[in-house]
Chain A
Amino acid sequence: MRPERESSVPHRERLTAFTPLPPERNGIADYAAFLLGALAEHYDCGAACEDWLADAPPGVAVVDPALAHRRAAGGGRVLHQLGNNPGHGFVLRAVRHAPGVSTLHDPGLLHLRQTTGAPRGALLAGLRDAPPAFARYARQVAAEDRWSRGDHLLFDMAGEVLARSRAVAVHSRFARNRLRALHGEEATGHVEVIPHLLPPLAVPSRGEARARLGIPPDAFLVCTAGFATAAKRLDWLIAAMDLAAGRGAAFLWIHAGAERSEEFPLAAAIAERLALRNRARITGYLSEGALTDHVAAADALVNLRFPSAGESSGSLARGFAAGAGCVVSDTGAYAELPRNAVLHVPLAGAVPALAEALAALAADPARAAAIGEEGRRFAAAEMALPAVALRYRALIEASCDRPVASPPRTGAAAPTVAVALGPDLTAAAVARALRGAEGSCRLLLATTDLETLADLSLERPALLDSLLPPWAALRAVRVLDGPRAGLLLDLDAGRGS
């Protein structure tokens, strides 16, 4: 009888997911734990995590990422969960070694690259994805090697992940369109939108949560959650609450998360507002259960973003799960949420609009509850975990044989790209011609003869400076005569590392 029993068990493919996991204080770690728990229904799942003692869901083994390639060998499926912070450095390295489906939770990866020791050449190579309109600025960044916060929106550094992934999942059309605008249709044809998941939380009732937290049942509670980063615009929220309080609105505010004072001095900013001193508090980092309690206790969950690069929010998904009335910025991925499922706050005039909205909700908590109920309904229909896991499975299976770009050659002869050099040749045309180049390469700026080359060099001073993209470092120049006349440039086009 034993063979019969064995044959009745369906064969399950092996899936190795490179991802952080709890207890790492990282929203993507929580997301991955939920997702892998659901994917374990479909696959023999392993989670390659830098913390070998991380908390994986039942049925999912934690694997040392340095050895996970052995597990993934021989046709095993691979999934990468990538966010834009240093906790994902090992995931980015795995993308290079073990191609699979990559989830870009944040389509910009500049911060990850900068904080995980990417060499200067690799960062400059990432500038190749800058749209032509930013080429001059990108050249300046490269020349001065000085990066600003705004650069995180302009230069996403996602080209390597797009090229080396069998498929890419993002959580919004905004994120997909942003990648498409920066990298083109061809490089992003394998990008698919899979909605953020609704965490399968055991959410307590509002009354139960408030009783545990000591929050009066009749108070109107506003909650914000997660790390208090600058992009969450808590400065706008503070100004709006100050304004609303001045107009007589009654509310409490809890920031259910840790302050990140180097980005935004939250406690100090609250202390400056007299009207908020006795209404607001910051909890510090919370355990999973305590965070759920705070979100469940809230009438309104405020989740602003500006600027937005298309990132997704685990806190918002919690808000949906808890049925809190969610208030979001009308931008990025949030703008795609149904108008009845959240309350959108415009970017222009955000502070007075938010003050008005909070005052109105505080005066009529039933309205916040109604928005929360619509949000919960929307999330149950679009973000349910089993459905999200099925979307992942479909993407993983559909893409498992799709070829990916090879890593840069080492030791091979440098390829030569030829472009006709004339008065109309633009930097954008040269950048296009070099787009596929990595590492050492050669560019021939071809002319009909040497006289023409001499004329052009006189007509266009600083010819090479104006033509070469910022990420291509010039190593040597040779003047060629004969049938292939022109300038032969030895370049280093950078490489991902």
Chain B
Amino acid sequence: MSSAAPLLAALLRVALPGLRALDLGLPAPPALFPWLPGTVCGVPDAEALPPAEAALLRRFRHPDGRPLIGFDPTADAALLAGAPATWDDAAERLIRFAGASPYRPPPDALLLVPPDAEDAIGVPRARILLLLGAGDAVERHDVLVPPPRLEAIHAALRDAAEALAGAAGGRWLARALAISAEIASVALLPEEAQTFRPGLSIPATALVHDLPTPAGLDGLDLSDARQVRLLLGTSPRRLRAFVRGGASGVALFGNGQRLPATLAEHPSGETCIEAEPRPGASAAAVIGLAAPRTAARFVLTRLELLP
């Protein structure tokens, strides 16, 4: 995971209300998912994946039932063409590429790309350099925007950076610079070595998982399947899974391997299973939950990622 990912997501959420994002960073850890709620994720080219990784990612479904982007070209076509309904009529759309864009993105969509990545396909776009600090490191992400909107979006990002500098904890430096008619920058850097790492609670209804049925209002029912994989993208330092029902013997897995975990009753009446996932590898993190065949009915209600 990019260690500035939570800061990036927070900055975009504050600056661009109504934003809906598509993160095409898989199979590497995504940058926006899961920190920016509602982000849809996928791969830029499923054919280029190693077969086993493709088979793994093909299993997952978004909360609305659709597969990850890249695995169903027919279903993807409308989204990638920018059809408003497929973006839930979002006020603002942003697509993140981990490399050069393989698609012709909708002309009015914002793009988030690695530093200096070419925007060879589609209309010309202006560039806003985001410099975000995490501890001693500074990460750069480039936001590509339609040129007429550069000034407004730059101002929104600047205001958001200043707001976060006051709210993120510790001392932060927020700076914005208009470099040219096509390039601007926003920096949000810690004055000490702190990292913006808030907790994140993900309700079962927002989880990307590999069960055939979506989560209901009371959670994701694991009674029949006994095992579920959850695409988390990032490996948090600490992870909590909240389970209602027979949680005896339930185990947590990180990237396929069982994690040492503790079980405790939570004041909510749920059982909280807590573990410390091993630091993330170069691939998107997958969390697993398994229960013995003898376990009573149980549902997963939410996950919490803790700093």
| Range for the number of chain A residues in contact with chain B | 20 to 34
Interface residues of B, dominant DSSP: mixed
Within 8 A of B (CB), among A37-57: 46, 48, 52-53
Q: How far is the CA of A46 from the CA of B292 in the complex (A)?
A: 20
Cβ distance A163 to chain B, nearest Cβ, rounded Å:
15
Asked if A68 is at the interface (CB within 8 A of a chain B CB), the reply is yes
In the complex, the answer to whether B255 meets A97 with C-beta atoms within 8 Å is no
Collect the chain A residues with CB atoms within 8 Å of residue B291's CB: 53
Knowing A61-B258, A67-B286, A71-B256 are in contact, say whether A53-B281 is a contact too (CB < 8 A): no
In the complex, the answer to whether A66 meets B256 with C-beta atoms within 8 Å is yes
Knowing A52-B227, A52-B290 are in contact, say whether A66-B56 is a contact too (CB < 8 A): yes
Binary per-residue interface labels of chain A (59-81) against chain B in the complex, 1 for a CB within 8 Å, 0 otherwise = 00111101111110000000000
In the complex, the answer to whether B255 meets A67 with C-beta atoms within 8 Å is yes
Collect the chain B residues with CB atoms within 8 Å of residue A67's CB: 56, 229, 255-256, 286
Kindly specify which of B45-53, B147-155, B188-196, B298-306 makes contact with the partner chain: B45-53
Cβ distance B14 to chain A, nearest Cβ, rounded Å:
35
Collect the chain A residues with CB atoms within 8 Å of residue B292's CB: 53
- Nearest CB to that of A98 among chain B residues? B52
In the complex, the answer to whether A70 meets B281 with C-beta atoms within 8 Å is yes
Q: How far is the CA of A61 from the CA of B257 in the complex (A)?
A: 7
Collect the chain A residues with CB atoms within 8 Å of residue B229's CB: 64, 66-67
Knowing A52-B288, A53-B290, A70-B281 are in contact, say whether A64-B51 is a contact too (CB < 8 A): no
Asked if A475 is at the interface (CB within 8 A of a chain B CB), the reply is no
- Nearest CB to that of A56 among chain B residues? B258
Asked if A93 is at the interface (CB within 8 A of a chain B CB), the reply is yes
Q: How far is the CA of A410 from the CA of B229 in the complex (A)?
A: 28
Cβ distance A55 to chain B, nearest Cβ, rounded Å:
11
In the complex, the answer to whether A70 meets B283 with C-beta atoms within 8 Å is yes
Collect the chain A residues with CB atoms within 8 Å of residue B51's CB: 96-97, 407
Q: How far is the CA of A209 from the CA of B51 in the complex (A)?
A: 50
Cβ distance A411 to chain B, nearest Cβ, rounded Å:
8
- Nearest CB to that of A68 among chain B residues? B256
Asked if B197 is at the interface (CB within 8 A of a chain A CB), the reply is no
Chain A-chain B contacts (Cβ-Cβ < 8 Å), number: 57
In the complex, the answer to whether B253 meets A69 with C-beta atoms within 8 Å is no
Q: Which of A61, A69, A94 contacts B53 (CB 8 A)?
A: A69
Knowing A52-B253, A52-B288, A53-B290 are in contact, say whether A66-B258 is a contact too (CB < 8 A): no
Cβ distance A79 to chain B, nearest Cβ, rounded Å:
16
Q: Which of B53, B249, B283, B286 contacts A53 (CB 8 A)?
A: B249
Asked if B111 is at the interface (CB within 8 A of a chain A CB), the reply is no
Cβ distance A492 to chain B, nearest Cβ, rounded Å:
20
Knowing A52-B253, A53-B249 are in contact, say whether A69-B52 is a contact too (CB < 8 A): yes
Binary per-residue interface labels of chain A (84-110) against chain B in the complex, 1 for a CB within 8 Å, 0 otherwise = 000000000110111000000000000
Collect the chain B residues with CB atoms within 8 Å of residue A411's CB: 47
Collect the chain A residues with CB atoms within 8 Å of residue B75's CB: none
Q: How far is the CA of A411 from the CA of B47 in the complex (A)?
A: 10
Q: How far is the CA of A96 from the CA of B251 in the complex (A)?
A: 29
Collect the chain A residues with CB atoms within 8 Å of residue B288's CB: 52, 64
Asked if B77 is at the interface (CB within 8 A of a chain A CB), the reply is no
Collect the chain B residues with CB atoms within 8 Å of residue A64's CB: 229, 253, 256-257, 288
Asked if B55 is at the interface (CB within 8 A of a chain A CB), the reply is yes
Asked if B140 is at the interface (CB within 8 A of a chain A CB), the reply is no
Given pairs A64-B229, A70-B281, A96-B51, 13 additional interface contacts (CB within 8 A): A46-B257, A48-B256, A52-B227, A52-B251, A53-B292, A61-B257, A62-B257, A63-B256, A66-B256, A69-B50, A69-B53, A70-B283, A97-B50
Q: Interface residues, chain A, CB within 8 Å of chain B?
A: 46, 48, 52-53, 61-64, 66-71, 93-94, 96-98, 407, 410-411
Sorted nearest first, the 3 A-B pairs with minimum C-beta distance are A67-B256, A69-B52, A64-B256
A-B contact pairs, 22 of them (CB 8 A): A46-B257, A52-B227, A52-B253, A52-B258, A53-B251, A53-B290, A53-B291, A61-B257, A64-B288, A66-B56, A66-B229, A67-B56, A67-B255, A68-B256, A69-B50, A71-B256, A93-B55, A94-B52, A97-B50, A97-B52, A407-B51, A410-B47
